[in-house]
A and B are shown apart, each in its own frame.
Chain A
């Protein structure tokens, strides 16, 4: 198999009922310093979207993807929050879409949750991306001569009418830096097929599941005393066709120290120093007049094609 280097993500989960903010920041920076492509913010007591925004302001080059349910959320709110994270992170934003079992979320939202959670998820995902497209790049014109702030011909209603949900749009938030922040979906079985068909960028699946998604990641759980043999396992997954791995490591720094040199020796993943982008070291001053260093976007780091705006493509 001669495919790309193995992509690496670190899953950030934290203790209940009170996560340790400092530990979340430390682990995100550990992952960044080790050259990982992204961190996922796992569901927990803290809202993952807000943790992602907080970490975006405390890091400078790693991708940040909160896990957010499609079943219990409004696509409009998810779309604007993810666009905002992408703005704060200068194009490092992502989303791990998760589909809940309707029985598990009974009584937690004030609308009737459909039994067809996968169908709802596909429509949700489509709505989120349509809202990202609803502002064309350059829609803000600030034309003093005509007193117009936007060119309203470049801001669109999305008018999605689905079986489970409808959204008129446009978004309140302009198109984010990546156009489309990276959409990962963690799903298995029929739900995974629906989401891949709906156009996710990355499917995060159980080991071995084949997929038509552009990228396939595998979740790997790593206990603190199980670093021996971890590298071999990752190398095997890579050989088996996985594009990337999401490490759910109890001791992230220890796990990375154990596996990164072996992955490099095996030619599966180069060392962090060989990779593109500015050196890690925490965030630049957000008000720095020189502007932030321009790290590659998360789409670029995952080798994904630039996002196409459906409204511009139509024109």
Chain B
């Protein structure tokens, strides 16, 4: 008997507040109305996806001293939306991103357990950490947590939540440096035992945290060899915590553009990419890299002829891309100049080329092949797909790619019973608790 084929795990990411989302498309609908959330979640459920996924941002993005107005702005509260979606879906997992920095430990534990009960065992938490001062200014303690302390708080918070979920009602006490709480817990253990925990963060500390504590890693999309290296690294860390490779899923975020043929898809992708990088967006991207005001430059002209500025990030504080370029601004600018000279590209062309890549572009057959190849070659366990249109951006994928994955035996054709955790093949208890029980 041959081993059963490895299953592709799929999640649908509600389009976010970055330039991936093409809000100017005539098909683009509200990012706030519940109908849009219901549509995307039900489409993903119809397509046998494991998860519906919501991101989080606790302040509006700012650039050059103003609110950033070029991308989608505004979103509802994730846990609230998911609790409503639990009423209009039946099988799909419901994942919210919550930072451990600006959410209270007992509130997180209660809300996730509540969602798990309201959904009959479908709650998931994408655990992130943050320390940005812009978000901190919206909360009682301000930007209280140093960068180095973010995983202390995350670890202590998750440790307390795990105990409350496991033990159910009764007195509790946590005496950590960041989480020093006590009281009486009053809620029964959630149906999954523990909601499914995803961890997003590619730093070494993030990978170690995932290996020790998480059920899945939300990471960047990469080529098959790069993905295989990431999987080897992160799953290689599991044994020291008494965990098996299949106890941690690796789920990169990915975008896609479908066409009737590969050529048709490439043409559509070229169009989408230019919509994703308008002239003003190209200037913002350049300013994140150069770390200086470039508003006087023409996006359809050549790259700015001035040097980038290393040091303190002045024009886009809090911007993740702006931070990612730190220390390699000159080197990156030189690479872009070489690219522009070689292919005779404008500033905007260069930004389209480097900042608006799609993970999968092709006919349904090509996209199904590529997705399945990544999974079967252990470059990942599946993908968190980010459509570029709200709320219909997953419709064609559900109609055309999903049946092909099902034909190959790589995606379920009927729902298994049990909870989200059961369907993902994950152990019921937290890693630390599982290790104890295995002894």
Contacts and interface: CB of A to CB of B under 8 A. Distances in A.
A111 B140 contact: yes
Interface string A11-47: 0000011110100000000000000000000001111
A16 B73 contact: no
A169 B436 CA distance: 45
Interface stretch (A102-110, A182-190, A199-207, A214-222): A102-110
Contacts of B57: 172
Interface in A159-205: 165-170, 172-174
Contacts of A83: 76-77
B33 interface: yes
Contact of B32 (A51, A174, A287): A174
Interface stretch (A145-153, A249-257, A260-268, A303-311): A145-153
Given A47-B110, A53-B83, A87-B33, A169 B138 contact: yes
A56 B75 contact: no
A54 B24 contact: no
B258 to A, nearest CB: 22
Contacts of A168: 59, 137-138
B51 to A, nearest CB: 18
Nearest to B70: A147
A298 B322 CA distance: 45
A85 B80 contact: yes
A108 B106 contact: yes
A203 B218 CA distance: 46
Contacts of A81: 77, 79-80
Interface in B75-107: 75-77, 79-81, 83-88, 102-107
A301 interface: no
Nearest to A59: B87
Interface string B30-62: 001111001100100000000000000111100
Nearest to A20: B117
A152 B67 contact: yes
B168 interface: yes
Interface in B231-269: none
B38 A46 contact: no
Interface stretch (B176-184, B411-419, B426-434): B176-184
A168 B58 CA distance: 11
A95 interface: no
B169 interface: yes
B87 A50 contact: no
| Max count, chain A CB within 10 A of own CB: residue among B115, B187, B188, B281 | B187
B155 interface: no
Nearest to B24: A144
Given A21-B118, A53-B84, A148-B69, A172 B58 contact: yes
A249 B24 CA distance: 51
A57 B117 contact: no
Contact of B169 (A17, A165, A172): A17
A21 B122 CA distance: 15
A85 B67 CA distance: 25
Contacts of B159: none
Contacts of B104: 72-74, 109-110
Given A74-B139, A172-B74, A110 B80 contact: no
Nearest to A56: B84
B279 interface: yes
A62 interface: no
Given A16-B186, A50-B80, A83-B77, A142 B24 contact: yes
Contact of B187 (A17, A108, A140): A17
B363 interface: no
Contacts of B5: none
Nearest to B103: A77
Given A155-B60, A172-B74, 19 more contacts: A16-B169, A47-B110, A49-B83, A50-B80, A50-B83, A58-B87, A73-B107, A74-B104, A81-B79, A87-B32, A107-B183, A110-B178, A142-B24, A147-B24, A149-B72, A166-B137, A168-B59, A172-B59, A287-B42
Interface of B: 23-24, 32-35, 38-39, 42, 57-60, 66-67, 69-77, 79-81, 83-88, 102-107, 110-111, 114-115, 117-118, 137-142, 168-169, 178-183, 186-188, 278-281
11 contacts: A21-B118, A45-B188, A46-B187, A49-B83, A87-B33, A142-B23, A147-B279, A147-B281, A149-B69, A173-B32, A286-B88
Interface of A: 16-19, 21, 44-47, 49-51, 53-54, 56-58, 72-74, 76-77, 80-81, 83-85, 87-88, 107-111, 135, 140, 142, 144, 146-152, 155, 165-170, 172-174, 286-288
Rank and list the top 5 A-B pairs by shortest CB-CB distance, nearest first.
A168-B137, A45-B187, A57-B87, A50-B83, A18-B188
